[in-house]
Amino acid sequence: MAAAAPNLSIKLGRKEFWALWLTLFLIAYNISVISPVMPLLVRELNTSIGYIQSALVLFSLVTASFAPTSENLCRFYGRERIFLGGLLFYGLGIVAMALSPTIGVWVVSFSLLTGLAATPLVSAPWSIMDFAYDGKEEEQATVAFILASVIGGLSGSLLGGFIASNLGWRWSFTPSLIVFLLVLALGRKLPSTSVPRKVPIDWVGGLISFLGFGSILLGVGLAGEYGWWKPKQVFAIAGLVIPPFAVSIVPTLISVGVICLGFFAVWQRQQQRKPAGISLMRVGLLRNAVFVNGLLTATLHTLVTSGVQFNLYQSLPIILPLNPFQTAIAVLPYTLTMVVVVVLLLKQLKADQQLPPKYLVHIGLSLVIVGLLALYRAIAPNMTSLSILPALMIMGMGSGLFSVYIGRLTYATTSKREKPEGTGIYNPFQQLGSSLGRGILGTILVTSASAGVVDQVVQLMGVSFSSEQRQNAISTLQRMVQTFSKQERRDALAKVLPESVMAQLPEVARLAAVEGMHIALLVALAVGVVCLLLSTQLPKRGRRRP
């Protein structure tokens, strides 16, 4: 049966609008709350920072990998049914996370249950909004939805950190549950954007795409613990070492992912040629140079900002003795400034705009780069929480400008009929950027800081290490940082280090954390420059085809 044309003229009531707004708030809160509660999770569930970080990557893995299948299910059953089903699934995941007795249950609840449910929940608000509004109303609704994600992230970091510090990490998911119930009450009668398309669901394509995206993202997530090429430790399943030669599991997983995506492309091409078949995801939009360029630009921006914020949550408690809530307060100026900028731009959209959006995107990215440079200078052993305030505010101003206008330019040459497909690609890629930021920049921070501690301790002890001994010491310290609590690390190190060195260890760790942040920020700066160069190829204004 041929596809029915989407309903391009629908009405969205106040209740339904707030249901969609709160949905984006809910997703952002639930992700952002993980960083401030991470130390408490590590201690209570007897796990490691690296394991929690891998769970965050796995969440994005599941969300991104399920996106093609989610779009296929929406075409088969209708987007609104899949949205409500995903919402119920997400609520179940929230409850399971808060009640998790072990880290295994928590990872399944967060990464699998909420990861699968988040895919239709993230794409549906944007798709429905696109059909309900046009012109200035659409621009204002777009900014409002951006604001929902920003405020959700701010609330997760601040409110979630405060609740975790005073009541425990389990209670930090209470706001998520409250918002879930509100969305469930307000979003029962969402408008229909399309007639369901009764064609076979491409389960084979969905499985191949999941394996492809999943292997690549999982490889990136495990790089910190297992090494990018040379193995830091053996990866084994039921006693079987994988791979059976002296190479880390990471390049193996990435290679498998690339091969699967190659098979996926071939499979989709064959499916498109069948009269009764259906392609899981059409590649036509991926041939749109403007869309792909905007997609990559936005993904790199997310990589930089998410990675830098994640590293601040990890490094500030070492450089400045801060608890999770105090750390959230220290990082708050970035998000708060971004919110203010987005709100001001929401009002500005009511008036005629003189400066082309492309130039505003350039200004925004330039401010992010300037903010990174200022943050590099501010991070120092004698810094205070106020030292990083100007840098975070500059970055927040840049991200606010960028976030408001990048979407308009990304979809500049797409039609409304193509928007749901584009959203199904765009949003998971932002999750991918966030995971890559935490995975790459987080790994750089931990590796560099661990190397700095080992080198300074060796110098203090007046001994010499071979290259192999040094690498083993760095790997051991990395595992301790990601697995042990602060007191457990001190107890373990006290058994092998003299008292004179232990007395200087806090200062050694502070200096190493500063150096690690500097190296990670240099990498973030390089990615930011690439992002700015990519943005030069965007169109000046967003003019979507009918």
The CA dihedral of 26, 29, 34, 35, to the nearest 10 degrees, is 160
Residue 436 sits at φ, ψ, to 5 deg, of -65, -40
Most confident among 80-84, 220-224, 244-248 (mean pLDDT): 80-84
Query: Cβ(123)–Cβ(70) under 8 Å?
Result: yes
pLDDT at site 385:
85
Query: With left for phi above 0 and alpha for psi between -120 and 50, is residue 168 left, alpha or beta?
Result: left
CA distances 144 to 24, 102, 138, 349, Å, are 10, 38, 10, 12
Q: Quick one: pLDDT band at residue 236, thresholds 50, 70, 90? A: low
CATH of 284-441+518-546, one of 3.40.50.970, 1.10.357.10, 1.20.1250.20, 3.40.50.620: 1.20.1250.20
The mean per-residue pLDDT over the stretch 476-487 comes to: 68
Q: Looking at per-residue confidence, does 275 or 318 come out higher?
A: 318
Q: Reply yes or no on whether the pLDDT at 49 is more than 80.
A: no
Most confident among 125-134, 136-145, 309-318 (mean pLDDT): 309-318
pTM of the model: 0.76
The amino acid occupying position 359 is: Y
237: helix, coil or strand?
strand
Residue 496 sits at φ, ψ, to 5 deg, of -120, -10
The answer for residues whose C-beta is within 8 angstroms of residue 211's C-beta and 6 or more apart is 65, 256, 257, 260
Query: Cβ(335)–Cβ(125) under 8 Å?
Result: no
How is the chain split into domains, by residue range? 1-201, 203-277, 284-441+518-546, 448-517
pLDDT at site 480:
72
Query: Cβ(176)–Cβ(152) under 8 Å?
Result: no
In CATH, the number for domain 1-201 is: 1.20.1250.20
Q: Quick one: pLDDT band at residue 371, thresholds 50, 70, 90? A: very high
DSSP letter (8 states) at residue 349: T
Q: Quick one: pLDDT band at residue 546, thresholds 50, 70, 90? A: very low
Q: Reply yes or no on whether the pLDDT at 237 is more than 90.
A: no
Q: Which has the closest alpha carbon to 342: 152, 141, 125, 147? A: 147
What is the C-alpha separation between 420 and 429, in angstroms, rounded?
Answer: 14
Is the fold of 1-201 the same as that of 284-441+518-546?
Answer: yes
